[in-house]
Amino acid sequence: MIIAKMNNMIHNLVEQKDIKETVLFESKTSVGYEHNVTLSEDPSTFAYLIILVTSGSSNSSRMCYAKKHGDVWYTNSSPTDYRNIYIAIGSQSGTSMKINTAEWVSKSLNYGCAIDSIIGVNRGGSLTLSDLVEIVKKAVVSC
């Protein structure tokens, strides 16, 4: 019950536009290892990026994340079964990005990937960690 109330309160924050998503790129690239993409806005102005990719051999779709800290972009890979998607931001200048991708099938076999879209995510309001703690407290007290 507590978790249900807390999830409802957090969902309301999303509905109130406290979290804003902006599509920065939606022209699917061809399958490859290196992609030079031009985005609609400067990606470094967003809290983080969601990068949707399609693997080159299995055609499965994956969701990867990228976050800029200082001058360096950090990314995650999304492993599924025995396959692993490698994604790295090679460089970024203004709205231009070079993104490297690969789908590792085994330690000696890999394929390129296609980038389906890139979404920038920002907080639209002033939600802080202490605000989130208050939401949890309210959910607990109301139960």
Residue range 83-117, pLDDT digits in tens: 688 889 989 999 999 999 988 888 788 899 999 99
Tell me, yes or no, whether 85 lies in a domain: yes
22 pLDDT above the threshold of 80: yes
Tell me, yes or no, whether 141 lies in a domain: no
Q: Residue 136 to residues 19, 90, 126, 127, 128: CA-CA distances in angstroms? A: 18, 39, 17, 13, 13
User: What CATH number is attached to the domain comprising 68?
Assistant: 2.60.40
Taking the C-alpha atoms of residue 143 and residue 137, their distance in angstroms, rounded to an integer, is: 10
Note the pLDDT tens digit of each residue in 42-55. Answer: 999 998 899 999 98
- Which range marks the domain in which residue 35 is found? 19-123
Q: Residue 8 to residues 16, 51, 69, 136: CA-CA distances in angstroms? A: 12, 27, 31, 11
